[in-house]
Amino acid sequence: MGITAMPPFGWTAATERQGGLVTRNPWNTGRTSGGSSGGSAALVAAGALPIAHANDGGGSIRIPAAVTGLVGFKPSRGRHTDEKFSRGMPIPIVSQSVVSRSVRDTATFLTAFEASHLPVGVPPVGPVAPVPARRLRIGLVEQSPAGGATDAATLAVLRETAGRLAELGHEVVPTEAPVPTGFRDDFIAYWGLLALSTSSSGRRLFDPDFDPAELDPFTVGLARMARRNIASLPLHLLRLARTRRQFDARFGDLDVYINPVVAHETPEVGYLDADLPFETHLERVSNWVTFTPLQNIAGSPAVSLPTGHAPDGMPVGVHFSARRGQDRLLLELASEYEAAHPFARIWE
């Protein structure tokens, strides 16, 4: 159908480019459509398309889905082959998937995709039942130690969602986030390393005419940060690799975690402007995007469901995650929830 917009290299969580090029949220054009897959999310949320490609290296499917009222599913690592850039990463973090308006459409895409692309190291999704085969034990996480405090509107939607899950017969248990100490610093350091690789290898990776002098301030800032801290990068990578290995064990007797997708309500356009000073941009995005990067490092599945709205009418997403390979379990839980509490549409 076409090519949708995204922020430069997908580093940030708002689809705003230098020179005032902005992809706006169809629920309120004064708000961001999220990122990095904000163009896809805006088209699907507005009703122009039923489904669109999106990808996710730190929340870039789930964040725009959350702020535009869509289903945004990040699959387990191994469910698809990686593109060239991801194959060169020390820790692969990018997942390819879609944003859609229903769990049914997302599940249909995934099962159709694996008919010709068999997963590696994880079981096929296969047929998705309308409900899980058993009642689940679900960990409720309200705050993340890796970013800013969760605001009142987001907490209200999260708690209402937890209550509805309990009404469906699932056991919901308040718990702490499965986030290791230092994860925020480790992920930001890795973010910088990837930006440094982009800026220094752009001619080889993208185009012979690639000019690093034309990069946006956020990419330049991330790359400079990585260059300054190059000696500590091996330690950050070591800790991220340990996080990946230990993630599934952190579930204990839980089947699923639920938590906010982002820490506060949808910001206005300009909050993550492409021309912001680097330090301001980094602080804002890392305090808002505080829950989603963990699953990218772990390679585990996660989905944002549009389960409620803030008092101003903007959608609020709730984040469901499971162990690596448990994609079908998440989709079945999401399907059961959607049937009991249908998601609002922008035109309703």
pLDDT tens for the 348 residues of the chain, in order = 889 999 999 999 999 999 889 999 999 999 999 999 999 999 999 999 999 999 999 999 999 999 999 999 999 999 998 887 777 789 999 999 999 999 999 999 999 999 999 999 999 999 999 999 999 999 999 999 888 899 999 999 999 999 999 999 999 999 999 999 899 999 999 999 999 999 998 888 888 999 998 999 999 999 999 999 999 999 999 999 999 999 999 999 999 999 999 999 999 999 999 999 999 999 999 999 999 999 999 999 999 999 999 999 999 999 999 999 999 999 999 999 999 999 999 987
Beta strand spans in the chain (E): 16-17, 21-22, 24-25, 28-32, 51-56, 71-74, 95-100, 137-140, 171-174, 256-260, 302-309, 315-321
Q: What is the pLDDT of residue 189?
A: 98
Give yes or no for a contact between 85 and 37, defined as CB atoms under 8 angstroms apart. Answer: no
pTM of the model: 0.96
Q: What is the pLDDT of residue 2?
A: 86
Measured distance CA(150)–CA(154) in Å, rounded:
7
Q: What residues have CB less than 8 Å from 179, skipping those under 6 apart?
A: 144, 145, 146, 294
Give CA–CA dist 51/97, Å, rounded: 10
Number of Cα atoms under 13 Å in the Cβ half of residue 306: 26
CA atoms of 258 and 196, how far apart (whole Å):
33
CB of 56 closer than 8 Å to CB of 74: yes
Q: What is the DSSP letter of 12?
A: S
Alpha helical stretches, state H, 263-326: 278-288, 293-298
- Helix, strand, or coil (residue 259): strand
Tokens 């007797």, residue located: 253
Task: Please provide the size of the chain in residues.
Answer: 348
* The pLDDT value given to residue 223: 97
pLDDT in tens, 1-39: 889 999 999 999 999 999 889 999 999 999 999 999 999
**The predicted structure's pLDDT at residue 270:** 97
User: How far apart are the two ends of the chain, measured CA to CA in Å?
Assistant: 26
Closest CA to 70 of 227, 286, 305, 244: 305
What is the DSSP-derived secondary structure letter of residue 268? B
Q: What value, to the nearest 5°, has the Cα angle with vertex 215 and ends 40 and 39?
A: 5
